[in-house]
């Protein structure tokens, strides 16, 4: 695999776990464990496909689901649990981008920076997009939003492993979505200033 494809793969993995960290990370780890499209074994980051790491991710999924059921997605996202989930997403994004580079025997450390940036973009987009969307939905539909976020993360990570350049489309879409959400917020506040 060329450096270009390794970078594309890293972008896709970081975006996927940036949207929702645990299920996309489980998918990546399971595929890596089976050497399907990605393989961390033999690298400095081989722990990413270890059973103990995958178990920790599974426990993270369970804890997040329980927290969202008890407190609601809004309170989880806005509280300390949301900060922890975002931190995990950033860390996993950095590790998986680095792992994508290491898989092809490239220096892995630049992937830490690239993964942090891509995961941060996805985290910011997910927070803004789902907060705005949640405000327009009834309570029943609001509970389904985390499922959509998990699905989007799984699709981006999975498709990036199958065909890495698709990650560039996902990157452009996530950036466009964030810019559109920010622009709408700016227009809303500009309208409020005019009313004064």
Domain of 131, in residue numbers:
3-195
Q: Read off the pLDDT of residues 92-126 as tens digits, 9 standing for 90 and up.
A: 999 999 999 999 999 999 999 999 999 999 999 99
Total of domains in the chain: 1
Mean pLDDT of 185-195: 57
Q: Read off the pLDDT of residues 125-145 as tens digits, 9 standing for 90 and up.
A: 999 888 888 888 887 777 788
Alpha helices (runs of H) in the chain, residue ranges in sequence order: 3-19, 22-33, 51-71, 73-78, 80-103, 109-135, 139-162, 166-195
Q: Read off the pLDDT of residues 61-84 as tens digits, 9 standing for 90 and up.
A: 999 999 988 888 878 888 898 999
Q: Is 163 helix (H, G, I), strand (E, B) or coil?
A: coil
Q: Read off the pLDDT of residues 37-66 as tens digits, 9 standing for 90 and up.
A: 999 999 999 999 999 999 999 999 999 999
Q: In the numeric block, which tokens belong to residue 147?
A: 């499922």
Q: How far is CA 56 from CA 29, 183, 184, 190, in A?
A: 11, 38, 38, 45
Residue 128 CA neighbour count, 13 Å, CB half: 19
Q: Read off the pLDDT of residues 141-168 as tens digits, 9 standing for 90 and up.
A: 777 888 899 999 999 999 999 999 999 9
Spatial contact of 73 and 145, defined as CB atoms under 8 Å apart: yes
21 has a pLDDT exceeding 80: yes
Spatial contact of 42 and 13, defined as CB atoms under 8 Å apart: no
The pLDDT confidence band at residue 4, using thresholds 50, 70 and 90, is: very high
């Amino acid at each position: 695999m060329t450096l270009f494809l390794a970078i594309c793969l890293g972008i896709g993995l970081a975006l996927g776990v940036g949207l929702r960290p645990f299920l996309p990370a489980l998918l990546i780890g399971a595929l890596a464990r089976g050497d399907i499209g990605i393989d961390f074994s033999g690298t400095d980051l081989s722990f990413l496909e270890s059973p103990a790491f995958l178990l920790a991710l599974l426990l993270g999924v369970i804890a997040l689901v329980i927290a969202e059921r008890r407190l609601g997605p809004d309170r989880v996202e806005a509280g300390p649990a949301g900060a922890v989930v975002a931190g995990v997403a950033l860390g996993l994004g950095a590790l998986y981008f680095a792992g994508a580079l290491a898989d092809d025997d490239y220096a892995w450390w630049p992937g830490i920076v690239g993964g942090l940036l891509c995961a941060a973009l996805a985290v910011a987009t997910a927070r803004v997009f789902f907060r705005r969307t949640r405000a327009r939905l009834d309570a029943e539909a609001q509970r389904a939003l985390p499922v959509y976020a998990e699905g989007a993360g799984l699709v981006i990570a999975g498709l990036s492993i199958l065909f890495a350049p698709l990650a560039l489309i996902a990157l452009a879409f996530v950036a466009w979505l964030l810019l559109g959400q920010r622009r709408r917020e700016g227009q809303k506040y500009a309208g409020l200033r005019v009313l004064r």
